[in-house]
Structure 1
Amino acid sequence: MPADRRPRTAAKRAAEARRVALAQTAATRRRRGILGGIAAAVAVLTALVVVFVVQDRRTSTSDRAAVPGNTVADGAAVRVGDAGAPVVIEVYEDYLCPVCRAFEERNAATLAELVDSGAAAVEYRPVAILDRASTDRYSTRALNAAAVVADAAGPEAFVAFSGLLFAAQPEEGGPGLSDDRLVALAGQAGATGTRVADGIRDLAYEDWTRRVTDEASKAGLQGTPTIRVDGEELPLREATPEGIAAAVSAAAQG
């Protein structure tokens, strides 16, 4: 296989695993009628008061402030696709955001196809803006876990892990996935070992999660999901397979 095909094929495999996991969970959620409760969950959020408990961490401050490996854009993104791709799609998501999950369920396959064809590269820029929507800072914990996976196992594992996180997404207003569950999902995505488990449990990249979230906010991020094609924000109503493909085609033509 030519060397320039390997990143695209790896990204396609990871995105396909992500798409399958999301599709399976979407079917289960539809049967249970969970999506119909989102509006009620939003109302509950206004009454939430989160008490933050400062705990000792086994990792050092310098480790927590470190930038995870296999990232780009000063450590703010994980990129899949050819370095010379003519168009870059930026995807801002929060792992607790139900609309982000719906976006992934609908568009993961299209993003994979665009990467595999060489038409575009995708830069995933996850953030943690919904900590108050859970009782245990799940947005930060999930984002930290994704950073650990990216650092330990690379972009392909990151994409697969993100898909697993969305497939197992907890409801807003309660606890998120446990650390043990996050470690198990990381293993399913191909990131294993003591370093991975400790990084997830000890919030090895907690300071990094705060930095990338703050920087995204200062750069104008209003909410998630936010999709930008070559720097131009795509209206959410156009964030469909057809809309994304059309935006990429237009950007490529200048």
Structure 2
Amino acid sequence: MPADPRRGRSKATDRQRAAARRAAEAAARAQAPRHSRTFIGGTVAVLAALVALIILGVRQDQWTADASAAAPANTTADGAAVRIGDPDAPVTLTVYEDFLCPACRSFEDVLGPTLAELVADGTAAAEYRPIAILDHASPDAYPTRALNAAAVVTDTAGPEAFLAFHDLLFAHQPAEGGAGLSDAQLIALAERAGATGPQVEAGIRERAFQDWTRRVTDNAGRDGVTSTPTILINGEPLAERTPQGLQDAVRAAAAA
């Protein structure tokens, strides 16, 4: 059941503060010498995006996800998303993310507070559709493990716990190419988000929703999602990824 918008206001404030702290940290890191980082960093980002596109295509060719894979409770009718906000909101803001994706963390840092405000005031509802396309950049399949853990949290504790866990995963995001958070660390974050008990621990350790992670990732690719983050406003791509651009696009969609 979608969260009560009145509760969303306090949750939004917490998310805004957390995002502000992460943005400040990012700004501090940006003060480091940049004369050699700008070109190299941009090149790496482009190459990483190309690799993600190739891997997603290969995954679709190599296996077909089990269409009957059980979906977590507390998801949308298609079993692939977690909806936050007023069920009657005039705008649906759809967010495809991979929990290892650096650009997704940047999106949350920069646009997360604005998104939270739009959800809290009832202008929009957020529909999170996390996927796992970056396993190739992780020696321990962290994107799939993190997505499975998010599914366990959603199944056992609901959308608000999912959102808290989502934010914690990005706040503690590991670097691409290195080890991801351990199962024990994922369990600890799940507990902080409000999902506790033996079912949570077992679901994370035993990959209870692994088949589902494959299905939603496969389906996203078939729906035309080729990179993360992908942001849609009532089904249309967000053109300007700035706080003002997001506000303008959502309010225009609400007025249409």
Normalised to the residue count of structure 1, the TM-score between the two structures is 0.83
Question: Matched residue of 2:76: which SS?
Answer: coil
Deviation at 1:39? 5.3
Aligned twin of 2:62: none
Aligned twin of 1:188: 192
Aligned ranges 1:134-149 → 2 under 5 Å: 134-149=138-153
Give 1:211's aligned amino acid.
R
Rounded to whole Å, the distance in 1 between the matches of 2:26 and 2:216 is 31
Within the alignment, does 1:14 sit opposite 2:3 as a pair? no
Rounded to whole Å, the distance in 1 between the matches of 2:9 and 2:205 is 30
Aligned twin of 1:253: 255
Give 2:229's aligned amino acid.
P
Rounded to whole Å, the distance in 1 between the matches of 2:110 and 2:197 is 32
Rounded to whole Å, the distance in 2 between the matches of 1:29 and 1:244 is 21
Within the alignment, does 1:171 sit opposite 2:189 as a pair? no
Normalised to the residue count of structure 2, the TM-score between the two structures is 0.82
CA displacement 1:31-73 (0-9 Å, x = unmatched) = 4569958558666997xxxxxxxxxxxxxxx9x9321011004
Question: Matched residue of 1:125: which SS?
Answer: strand
Judged with a 3 Å threshold, the aligned counterparts in structure 2 of structure 1 residues 176 and 40 are, in CA distance, closer, same or farther, namely farther
Judged with a 3 Å threshold, the aligned counterparts in structure 2 of structure 1 residues 85 and 78 are, in CA distance, closer, same or farther, namely same
Aligned twin of 1:118: 122
Deviation at 1:21? 3.4
CA displacement 1:72-123 (0-9 Å, x = unmatched) = 0411100011111111100111100001000001111111111111111110
- Conserved in 1, the CA contact under 8 Å of 2:12 and 2:120? no
Give 2:90's aligned amino acid.
P
Aligned ranges 1:63-212 → 2 under 5 Å: 65-212=69-216
Rounded to whole Å, the distance in 1 between the matches of 2:144 and 2:96 is 14
State the percentage of identical aligned residues: 55
- Conserved in 1, the CA contact under 8 Å of 2:19 and 2:113? no
Judged with a 3 Å threshold, the aligned counterparts in structure 2 of structure 1 residues 133 and 14 are, in CA distance, closer, same or farther, namely farther
CA displacement 1:6-51 (0-9 Å, x = unmatched) = 61133333343334334434444554569958558666997xxxxx
Q: In the alignment, which of 205, 221, 225 is matched to residue 229 of structure 2?
A: 225
Question: Matched residue of 1:220: which SS?
Answer: coil
Question: Matched residue of 2:237: which SS?
Answer: strand
Deviation at 1:174? 1.0
Give 1:122's aligned amino acid.
A
Q: Which runs of 5+ in 2 are unaligned?
A: 52-65
- Conserved in 2, the CA contact under 8 Å of 1:18 and 1:159? no
Aligned twin of 1:50: none
- Conserved in 1, the CA contact under 8 Å of 2:234 and 2:253? yes
Q: In the alignment, which of 2, 21, 38 is matched to residue 24 of structure 1?
A: 21
Q: In the alignment, which of 219, 239, 242 is matched to residue 241 of structure 2?
A: 239
